[in-house]
Structure 1
């Protein structure tokens, strides 16, 4: 019975923590690059693309499961090449040099976008 009560209490605490998490609160730390900053870089790129006046795009949320090391250089962004086989358009946010770590030296995160309705 006590085990059941403890499990229920722990589950409730986890749900509360997950409910408070969002892309807006996932900021960079000394060890990891936050999804907030990654999404903001995609938004900057899309704002420049929208200013060209051809098509109008909006940025969606990056995959919340993504975890990448902190980038040591400014992020870059460009359209994800169609040759990568993605079914929908996305922006590749690229880190050319991550802070030294044992996992990866560089990374890219593909942030989905959608065309704004006319």
Structure 2
């Protein structure tokens, strides 16, 4: 009986905690999503993509702008410096993106390494 009441209580607690988070989510932005000892922030992930694109823009004809990574992404803190590269077309992404790569995450129970796709778009050409 205790297991049944606990399983009924979980969805209620989840809904209550989710509604309590609504004001927090309204104030959330990539600018404030910084790394902590447990998670790698989307701000730092986007910054790595921006550094990569700045190098690409400096050497090429095409010019790119970095967009926002998916706000739903949550990854453990990376234990090594992040890398970035163009996302291979073979992965089937419909639009160009940069892959930010963590080759070795801090010890955790979720994942040993990760990669996050950060979309980019071509800058408009000026005549």
Q: TM-score, normalised by structure 1?
A: 0.88
SS of residue paired to 1:15: helix
Residue 108 of structure 1, CA deviation: 0.1
What residue in structure 1 maps to residue 74 of structure 2? 67
> Number of residue pairs matched?
109
Structure 1 gaps of 5+ residues are 1-9
What residue in structure 2 maps to residue 28 of structure 1? 35
Residue 15 of structure 1, CA deviation: 3.4
What residue in structure 2 maps to residue 47 of structure 1? 54
Give runs of ≥4 in structure 1 deviating > 4 Å.
none
SS of residue paired to 1:41: helix
RMSD between superposed Cα atoms in Å? 1.5
After TM superposition, the structure 1 = structure 2 runs for residues 1-118 of structure 1, keeping only pairs within 5 Å, are 11=19, 14-118=21-125
Structure 2 gaps of 5+ residues are 1-17
